[in-house]
Amino acid sequence: MRKLSFCLSTILLLTGLAYADQLPLPAQVRASARLLTLPVKLALLYPRQPDEKLIVPVAGVRVREIGNSWHAPRAGGRLHEGQDIFAKRGTAVYSATDGYVVRVGENTLGGHTVWVMGAGGRSYYYAHLDAYAPNLAVGDHVTPQTVLGYVGTTGNAIGTPPHLHFGVYTSAGAVDPRPLLTDRP
Q: Which of 71, 80, 128, 163 is catalytic?
A: 163
Alpha carbons 9 and 11: distance in angstroms, whole number: 5
Report the DSSP beta bridge partners of residue 112: 106, 129
Known catalytic membership, residue 112: no
What is the number of H-type helices and E-type strands within the chain?
Answer: 2, 12
Phi, psi of 124 (to 5 degrees): -120, 130
H or E element: which one contains 148?
strand 147-150
Give the residue numbers annotated as catalytic, written as ranges. Answer: 163
